[in-house]
Amino acid sequence: MTETADLTSVNLAAVLDRAAAGGRITPEEALDLYRYAPLHALGSAADAVRRKRYAGTEHIATYIIERNINYTNACVTACKFCAFYAAPKSDKVWTRDLEDILRRCEETVALGGTQIMFQGGHHPDYGVEYYEKHFSAIKQAYPQLVIHSLGASEIEHMSRISGVTAEEAIRRIHAAGLDSFAGAGAELLPERPRKAIAPLKESGERWLEIMELAHNLGVESTSTMLMGTGETNAERIEHLRMIRDVQDRTGGFRAFIPYTYQPENNHLKGQTQATLFEYLRMIAIARLFLDNVAHIQGSWLTTGKEVGQLSLHYGADDLGSIMLEENVVSSAGAKHRSNRMEIIDLIRKAGRVPAQRATTYEHLLVHDDPANDPVDDKVVSHLSSTAIEGGTAHPELKIVQAS
């Protein structure tokens, strides 16, 4: 080993030690760690940060029961990685009426779900009024459901359709029932990769401006990253820097959720993808770099259950959701399915105590005694998805009333 390599190793170890102790690292240091730090050392440092942040509950890892309700697939942005959308004038376009949406909310409540993600395309006719109507109807019928939905891209679109400011759009849909933003549409925030995969969307800077505006209006959100569409390592770290800078000012991002591009049925055709090791390294570096973001979520949906389980050893404190319905990434090839009992088992076999959480991450039910684990096998992911084998598009699902 050369003297330069020795020095690099010493420097990386020093940066890892500082980060593990809770010190802030620079984007340049984060890039070096992401590229060169030994995988296990990186994961160990990230896990040390997680344990310190959650001292007293560090033995717990969480999950949530939710449903993605896809209200339309019509979309004017035509993102190159997306396999879900249809051009607005295409004969493949569909929309769900309000009665159908409310039925799906009813099923969610019956299965013990606490959250819905209203997710669809940028329909050319859907302005602020559409979301006001639907959110208020959902809240009136099912006030116990948290509406954790949409993101800055939808705000930019609906405000343009309705001829109002982004601030007015946020205020109005929040008043109608939106509880928090899901961070949709972040994809990659740096200019070059964003223009390459989503040229018709707003800039990354504008996405962050709208999220910052929402945070200042009292509407918190999560933040996301789509990995594997041809971005560089440096651009991945720049994405994190952009999020951290806004978080320093607002504190409104509750969590960071990286997920991997799925290669089927879209224009990118899988020409570039993120490896599972790159994903685990991102989970770890996010925990080290985003010292101002509380939660890091692992994604079993796009990487598989085993890698999702491993993410709990690389800084993640949450294993995401049992999605009763999901069609967007499933349309692009994410075929992983699970159920509540399996998620609990995955968390427990990772050496952690499972806990069902709320949208705001409070523990609703801690599964500290396996003898008291739920046995209801009806809480299954994708139970009414159309984009994955094993789901069903039948309008009347056979479910049991939650106790």
pLDDT digits (tens, 9 = 90+) for 159-205: 999 999 999 999 999 999 999 999 888 999 999 999 998 889 999 99
Whether residue 385 is contained in a domain is answered as no
pLDDT digits (tens, 9 = 90+) for 355-376: 999 999 999 999 999 999 887 6
Whether residue 389 is contained in a domain is answered as no
Binding residues for S-adenosyl-L-methionine: 81, 187
Confidence band of 337 (pLDDT split at 50, 70, 90): low
Following DSSP, what letter does each residue of 162-194 receive, concatenated? Answer: HT--HHHHHHHHHHHT--EE--TT-S--SHHHH
Fill in the amino acid letter for 355: A
Whether residue 205 is contained in a domain is answered as yes
Q: What CATH number corresponds to the domain at position 258?
A: 3.20.20.70
pLDDT at 17 over 60: yes
Q: Which two structure tokens, joined as six digits, stand for 317?
A: 């404190």
Whether residue 324 is contained in a domain is answered as yes
Binding residues for (3R)-3-methyl-D-ornithine: 299, 321
**Amino acid 83: pLDDT:** 61
Confidence band of 330 (pLDDT split at 50, 70, 90): very low
Domain that holds residue 14: 3-372
Cα separation, 57 vs 131, in Å, equals 38
Binding residues for [4Fe-4S] cluster: 75, 79, 82
How many domains, in total, are found in the chain? 1
Count of beta carbons in the 10 Å neighbourhood of residue 77:
16
Whether residue 21 is contained in a domain is answered as yes
Binding residues: 75, 79, 81-82, 187, 299, 321
Which residues are CB-contacts of 164 (< 8 A; sequence separation ≥ 6)?
128, 172
96-105, 109-118, 381-390: lowest mean pLDDT where? Answer: 381-390
Determine whether 143 is exposed, middle or buried from the number of CB atoms within 10 Å of its CB (0-12, 13-18, 19+).
exposed
pLDDT digits (tens, 9 = 90+) for 104-146: 899 889 888 999 998 887 899 999 999 999 999 999 999 999 9
Whether residue 344 is contained in a domain is answered as yes
Whether residue 339 is contained in a domain is answered as yes
**Amino acid 144: pLDDT:** 96
Query: Which pTM value belongs to this model?
Result: 0.89
Whether residue 241 is contained in a domain is answered as yes
